[in-house]
């Protein structure tokens, strides 16, 4: 469940929306899948721990022999000790190799699974989410933010496990030498624990603020690079630099805050080390003076305390990694918890489009987060195979009508039927497969022309793709390109002209071969000559399909079966071109205004 409205624009306060427990709870299912690897990892972790524990024992034996407190040392005994130690180090090497490789690989598996889930979820989020989130921020969440999950997934169980074993074993061995001294040392631990928890909280906040700010930076860079032509055209470089630098400095400030938290944390652990050693020196010295401990035991004791301190140090160092991982998980879960607003209704079946008749019945619509009614009790019947044109002032809701048919947005109330089936009750996939859309802004993927046309129907044969290109009138320019169909068109098709891009997008729809066609200002961005070509292709495309055409140049829609004039209050006029001119109303005015301009 979402804890906050994910529709809101992200802020960089680093506010936490989930408790650590919740985060771990949500993360566990991802680890569970690889529990075999995890258990092996923990097993090898215990082996390496064992190797760390044995050295002080050997040193105790040596010291006690040297001081005559135990059996004198012989070469045979020494050799036995050394062989034991070397063997253990070899085991340690093997175990360590496994942990370092397989442990991290397990982490990568988990990271990959989470990224896959996040991507799938993102694909299903509605247009509203994308209107309210910057792409750079979203990208950060599913790339960088999840990098640390590998380290987290691997080290988190392992480090805590090792620390646990070491604490327990050290306690048992130490109290064997001197229970009272050991209790004094362990009494220091709660203080350490309390301080760590406090500082950890602070660390996580700064960590999250950092992430948000990195996303902000990415978004700024992305926007500036994508708009590179505009930036150059308006010589906006200085302004871009200023905006970027603002974000850059904000990032610096947040990072500085983070390092203060880190330094406080590090310093507090060093002071804690000092506290433990003070206890050992004072207590151990007193015990030695009163013959309550042997010198060998004290040596072993000090070595164990060092191991214990090293362990606590590791955990503290790990705290940063831990926080980074937790932040990554939190930002991941925020995506996963964003509700999918537009989805298949329960038990939805595929739509069966036979004729392609569309009717809007009492449709009301306002954009989410923006309580402006765009459509008010809107009724419209588009007959099967009809070519309907919509004209009207900009901002009147023409594009909105087009967005509602493939359910990019859902109606606020009322319904839309296609061939008598309510579109909110059929599967999104079947609905969208039966609709072809050509818009003013053409989006092409970086890749070849062939790949871009094939997007219309994955699995189409080369012959079908070529036929689609011919139908769209794209063949003649494609043939002139150096590699024909296999020409690489650059990111978003920057290497093609507007008219060429539009013809490729039309070929894509030809290949898709939908019953219903939506043309939203498809030729508006083109020059007169390209417009002529593209209009011809579109006329061909519209044959035999129910078509809704939106155009602001009225010449392109003169031949429509019916034209409706849309105003703020709904449909103002409707009829054929001739009928509307004879009426001498709104359409007549628009037509004359246009004629005056030409
Ligand atoms: P047209 O295509 O006729 O020019 P639109 O359908 O694009 O008009 O827009 C109709 C109204 O809806 C406008 O007032 C516009 O500001 C608003 N609008 C369009 N898209 C959105 C959106 N994503 N979020 C909020 N309001 C929007
Ligand atoms: Mg529009």
Q: Average pLDDT of each block of 10 consecutive residues along the chain (598 residues)?
A: 39 64 92 92 88 80 77 84 89 91 91 94 90 85 85 82 84 82 83 77 82 85 83 84 90 91 84 85 88 80 81 74 86 92 92 93 89 90 94 90 94 95 94 92 88 91 93 88 88 81 91 93 81 84 92 85 90 92 90 78
Q: How far is the CA of 531 from the centre of ligand 2 (A)?
A: 18
Q: Which CATH number fits domain 358-434+514-597: 2.40.50.140, 3.40.47.40, 3.40.50.2300, 3.40.50.300?
A: 3.40.50.300
Q: What is the pLDDT of residue 32?
A: 93
Q: What is the pLDDT of residue 598?
A: 63
Q: How far is the CA of 565 from the centre of ligand 1 (A)?
A: 17
Tell me the pairing of strands 413-418 and 421-422: antiparallel
Portions of the chain given CATH number 1.20.1560.10: 20-336
Q: Which two tokens stand for residue 75?
A: 């070469």
CA nearest ligand 1 atom 1, residue: 395
Portions of the chain given CATH number 3.40.50.300: 358-434+514-597
CA nearest ligand 1 atom 18, residue: 367
Neighbours of 289 (CB within 10 A): 9
Q: How far is the CA of 18 from the centre of ligand 1 (A)?
A: 35
Ligand 1, CB within 6 Å, residue ranges? 131, 367, 370, 374, 394-400
Tell me the pairing of strands 546-550 and 516-520: parallel
Name the residue of 126, 363, 370 to mutate for ligand 1: max ligand atoms within 8 A of Cβ: 370
Q: What is the pLDDT of residue 15?
A: 58
Q: Which CATH superfamily is domain 20-336 in?
A: ABC transporter type 1, transmembrane domain (1.20.1560.10)
Nearest Cα residue to 412 out of 460, 368, 475, 464: 368
DSSP string across 87-136: HHHHHHHHHHHHIIIIIHHHHHHHHHHHHHHHHHHHHHS-HHHHHHS-HH
Query: Ligand 1, closest atom to CA 401?
Result: 6
Q: How far is the CA of 522 from the centre of ligand 2 (A)?
A: 10
Helix axes 179-186, 295-336, angle to 10 degrees: 30
Query: Ligand 1, closest atom to CA 550?
Result: 2
- Reported in sequence order, the residue ranges of 331-434 that DSSP labels E, i.e. its strands, are 358-366, 373-382, 387-392, 413-418, 421-422
**In the chain, count of helices (H) and strands (E)?**
21, 10
566 alpha carbon, closest ligand = 1
Helix axes 295-336, 144-177, angle to 10 degrees: 150
Sign of CA dihedral 43, 39, 311, 292: negative
What number is the ipTM of this complex?
0.97
Q: Which two tokens stand for residue 199?
A: 């500082």
Q: Phi and psi for 563 in degrees, rounded to 5?
A: -120, 135
Q: How far is the CA of 395 from the centre of ligand 1 (A)?
A: 6
Nearest Cα residue to 152 out of 208, 104, 216, 94: 104
Sign of CA dihedral 17, 20, 22, 24: positive
Nearest Cα residue to 327 out of 11, 112, 18: 18
390 alpha carbon, closest ligand = 1
């Amino acid at each position: 469940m979402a804890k906050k409205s994910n529709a809101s624009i992200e802020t960089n306060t680093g506010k936490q929306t989930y408790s650590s427990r919740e985060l771990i709870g949500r993360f566990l299912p991802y680890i569970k899948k690889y529990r075999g690897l995890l258990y092996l990892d923990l097993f090898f972790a215990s082996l390496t721990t064992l190797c760390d524990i044995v050295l002080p024992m050997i040193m105790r034996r040596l010291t006690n022999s040297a001081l005559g407190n135990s059996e004198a040392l012989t070469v045979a005994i020494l050799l036995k000790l050394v062989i034991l130690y070397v063997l253990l180090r070899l085991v340690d090497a093997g175990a360590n190799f496994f942990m370092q490789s397989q442990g991290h690989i397990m982490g990568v598996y988990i990271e990959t699974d989470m990224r896959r889930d996040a991507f799938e979820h993102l694909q299903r989020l509605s247009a509203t989410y994308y209107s309210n989130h910057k792409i750079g921020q979203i990208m950060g969440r599913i790339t960088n933010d999840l990098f640390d999950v590998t380290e987290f997934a691997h080290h988190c169980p392992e480090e805590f496990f090792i620390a646990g074993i070491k604490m327990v074993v050290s306690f048992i061995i130490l109290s064997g030498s001197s229970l009272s001294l050991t209790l004094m040392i362990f009494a220091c631990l709660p203080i350490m624990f309390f301080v760590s928890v406090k500082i950890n909280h602070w660390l996580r906040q700064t960590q999250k603020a950092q992430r948000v700010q990195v996303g902000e930076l990415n978004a700024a860079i992305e926007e500036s690079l994508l708009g590179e032509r505009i930036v150059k055209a308006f010589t906006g470089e200085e302004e871009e630099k200023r905006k970027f630098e603002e974000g850059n400095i904000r990032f610096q400030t947040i990072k500085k805050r983070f390092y203060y938290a880190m330094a406080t944390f590090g310093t507090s652990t060093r002071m804690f080390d000092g506290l433990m050693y003070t206890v050992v020196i004072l207590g151990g010295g007193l015990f030695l003076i009163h013959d309550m401990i042997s010198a060998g035991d004290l040596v072993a004791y000090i070595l164990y305390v060092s191991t214990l301190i090293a362990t606590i140090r590791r955990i503290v160092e790990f705290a940063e990694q831990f926080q980074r991982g937790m932040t990554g998980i939190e930002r991941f879960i925020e995506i996963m918890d964003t509700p999918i607003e537009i989805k298949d209704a329960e038990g939805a079946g595929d739509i069966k489009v036979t004729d392609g008749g569309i009717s809007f019945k009492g449709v009301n619509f306002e954009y989410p987060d923006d309580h402006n009614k765009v459509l008010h009790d809107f009724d419209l019947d588009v007959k099967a195979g009809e070519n309907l044109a919509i004209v009207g002032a900009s901002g009147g809701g023409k594009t909105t009508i087009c967005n509602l048919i493939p359910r990019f947005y859902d109606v606020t109330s009322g319904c839309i039927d296609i061939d008598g089936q309510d579109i909110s009750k059929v599967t999104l996939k079947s609905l969208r497969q039966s609709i072809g859309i050509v818009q003013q802004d053409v989006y092409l993927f970086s890749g070849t022309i062939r790949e871009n046309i094939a997007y219309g129907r994955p699995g189409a044969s080369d012959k079908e793709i070529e036929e689609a290109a011919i139908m769209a009138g794209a063949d003649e320019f494609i043939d002139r390109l150096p590699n024909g169909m296999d020409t690489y068109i650059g990111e978003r098709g920057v290497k093609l002209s507007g008219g060429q891009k539009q013809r490729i997008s039309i070929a894509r729809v030809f290949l898709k071969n939908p019953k219903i066609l939506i043309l939203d200002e498809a030729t508006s961005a083109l020059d007169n000559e390209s417009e002529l070509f593209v209009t011809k292709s579109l006329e061909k495309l519209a044959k035999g399909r129910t078509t809704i055409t939106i155009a602001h140049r009225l010449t392109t829609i003169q031949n429509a079966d019916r034209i409706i004039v849309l105003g703020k209050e709904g449909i103002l006029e409707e009829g054929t071109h001739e009928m509307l001119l004879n009426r001498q109303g709104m359409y007549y005015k628009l037509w004359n205004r246009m004629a005056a301009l030409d």
